[in-house]
Amino acid sequence: MLDETVTAVHRRNFEAGVPVLAATRGDPEVRALRIEALSRAAVGMSRGIESLIVRDQHNPDLWLWLGRTRIEEAWEIKPEVKARAVQAHRLEAYHAAMELARQPLLTAAGLMPADPVPWEALMWLALGLERPRNDKDSVWFECSRRWPTLYSGNLARLITLSPGWGGTATEMFEFARAVAARAPDGNPLPALIPLAHFEHVAAERTPMSRGGWFPFDVQREIVAAAGQWSDRRIGPAHPRSIEAHNAFGAAFYLADLRRPARGHLVRTGGRFSRTPWSHLGDPEAQFHRACGKLNVITN
């Protein structure tokens, strides 16, 4: 259903997103996943969501969708760090575009006070605007107190604490390990362990060969985290299972641990996630390259 709705939004049929989002009001994990997917599908077309709001101004789903879409639109025009000195006007435009997301998200939060997803989006806003640490901590507090195990919220917090975004390796790893240790059965939060190691290596900005990303002690920790998490349980898989399989699959692939890498990438169903493949280059290309080397069929 989400695939079909994403396709519809690409074709400017924004009404298709309304029932898909309304159905998620009791499930923050699914809500966060659908908001992310539909917002990325609507990049460059946020006025289509604005037109829906004109007709339904008290719908929290639409305000949330608009706010997150504006964040995604802002990321698209963010200048590279090395270019900022010569692209001050573009940086100013990026900040202005990112700031446009704030009010819709606060409106969504006000209309649905128990919903953690607007606060997760506000975490990305604070990150994108490089707000002071107190601001980042406050939105994390609001998100986590509403739904402590929200995968996307914990991921946003991990990135916030990472060295590449103003944090430190120590606090990032402490957070990832603590979250993984108390993850509920079947919850893919242990995937924060390999993602933290990706962030750590990326912050060093040192090109790596495939086998040189993770030393043995790191590989051992990632293997242990993968063993802690299993989506083999009664009932449907967690909405973020595919992302976790991407995280573990990419880590094992780079460590030249072919068997576990293949096991995880097979279970992605041919779907890639931006993180952690973006650390290697174009996410889609890197995912398919890894699958090709491991003889994993993707359609």
Domain boundary among 133, 159, 184: 133
74-118 pLDDT, tens digit per residue, is 999 998 765 555 578 889 999 999 999 999 999 999 999 999 999
Domain co-membership, 158 together with 100? no
Which structural domain range is residue 224 located in?
A: 148-299
H-assigned helices in the chain: 2-10, 17-22, 28-41, 46-55, 60-76, 88-99, 102-111, 117-128, 133-146, 151-161, 169-181, 192-204, 216-228, 241-254, 258-266, 274-277, 283-293
Eight-class DSSP state of 245: H
Instruction: Quote the CA–CA distance of 83 and 290 in Å, as a whole number.
Output: 31
> How many domains would you assign to the chain?
2
Q: What is the pLDDT of residues 10-23, one digit of tens each?
A: 999 999 999 999 99
User: Within this chain, do residues 153 and 71 fall inside the same structural domain, yes or no?
Assistant: no
Say whether both 98 and 155 belong to one domain.
no
Residue 78 and residue 17 share a domain: yes
Are 152 and 295 within one domain?
yes
SS3 (DSSP) at 100: coil
Q: What's the pLDDT tens digit per position in 117-158? A: 999 999 999 999 999 999 999 999 999 999 999 999 999 999
Residue 249 shares a structural domain with residue 109: no
With the CA atoms of 205, 211, 214 and 220 taken in that order, what torsion angle do they form, in degrees rounded to the nearest 10?
170
Residue 140 lies in a domain: no
Domain membership of residue 141 (yes or no) is: no
**Assigned domain for 142 exists:** no
Short-list 173, 145, 150, CA closest to 161: 173
**Same domain, yes or no: 74 and 108:** yes
What pTM was computed for the model?
A: 0.94
